[in-house]
């Protein structure tokens, strides 16, 4: 197991994140690495986290969201 641990052999769950805690969300990609995308999240308490994700996955998720709205 690769996650943080509470004790011997007991993995700890990551804290839950709510969209209510997010102030600003930005998607960025570069032509140098077209298969990757950065998701920059600014939380209401001022913290900023950057997640590197597969661009193809994000594009498919956005398409599904658009289809749901139509």
Q: Tell me the pLDDT tens digit for each residue of 15-24.
A: 777 889 999 9
Cα dist from 24 to 5, 27, 31, 48, 58, whole Å = 31, 10, 23, 9, 17
pLDDT of residue 3: 53
- Bridge partners of residue 62, in order along the sequence: none
pLDDT of residue 70: 76
pLDDT single digits (tens) 27-64: 998 889 999 999 999 999 999 999 999 999 988 998 99
Number of residues that make up the chain: 70
Q: How confident is the model at residue 4 (pLDDT cuts 50, 70, 90)?
A: low
Q: What is the pTM of this model?
A: 0.62
DSSP class of 34: T
40 and 50 Cβ atoms separated by less than 8 Å: yes
The answer, yes or no, to whether residue 26 has pLDDT greater than 90, is yes
Which run of H or E residues covers position 61? helix 55-69
């Amino acid at each position: 197991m690769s996650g943080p641990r509470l004790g011997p052999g007991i993995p700890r769950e990551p804290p839950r994140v709510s969209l209510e805690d997010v102030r600003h969300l930005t998607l960025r990609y570069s032509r140098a690495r077209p298969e990757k995308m950065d998701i920059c999240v600014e939380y209401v308490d001022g913290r900023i986290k950057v997640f590197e994700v597969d661009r193809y996955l994000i594009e498919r998720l956005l398409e599904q969201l658009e289809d749901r709205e139509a």
